[in-house]
Structure 1
Amino acid sequence: MHLLKLIALLTLAIFGTSCTTTGGVRQSGGAETIPSDKALAFPPPGGPAIVNVVERRHGNDVEQMISLSTSSTVPGQNFVKVLFLAVSGSTPGLGSTPYKMISEAEIAREIAATIPGVRLSRSATFVQNTYGPFGYAAGRSRAGDTCLYAWQQIRAGRSTPAQQRNFSMVQVRLRLCDARATERQLLSTVYGYTIAGGFEGESLNPYGTPRGADALLGRPGDPIYPDVGGYRNSQMAIGYEARTTAVRPAIVNHRTVIQPKAVTVAPPQAVGPHIALPDPQGGTPQTGAVTAPAQISGQGQRGTMGTNGIVVPSPDCIGDAGTTAACRK
Structure 2
Amino acid sequence: MMPRLMAMMALVASVSGCATGDDPDLFTSSIKPQAPTLSADVSPEFAVAYLPQVAGRVEAVRQTSQTDQIFQTILYPNPGYGPGENRLTVSVAPPGTNRSYLQAPTQRQIINEMRAALPDAKMQFTSAAGQNLQGPFGYAIGKAADGANCIFAWQTVREISRTPGTGLGLLGRKSYAAKIRLRYCHPTMGEASLSSLMAGLRVREVTPTTIEMLRFAEGTGVATRPSYAVQEPSVVQARPVSLKPASVATKSAKSSQSVTAAFAAPVRNAPRIVKPRELAGYASAQKGGAPAVKPLVLATAEPAPPAKAISPGKAAAVPLPSDLVR
TM category (shorter chain) comes to: 0.3 to 0.5
Name the TM-score, length of structure 1 as normaliser: 0.46
Higher strand share: 1
Higher helix share: 2
Bigger RCO (CA 8 Å, 6+ sep): 2
Bigger CA radius of gyration: 2
Name the TM-score, length of structure 2 as normaliser: 0.46
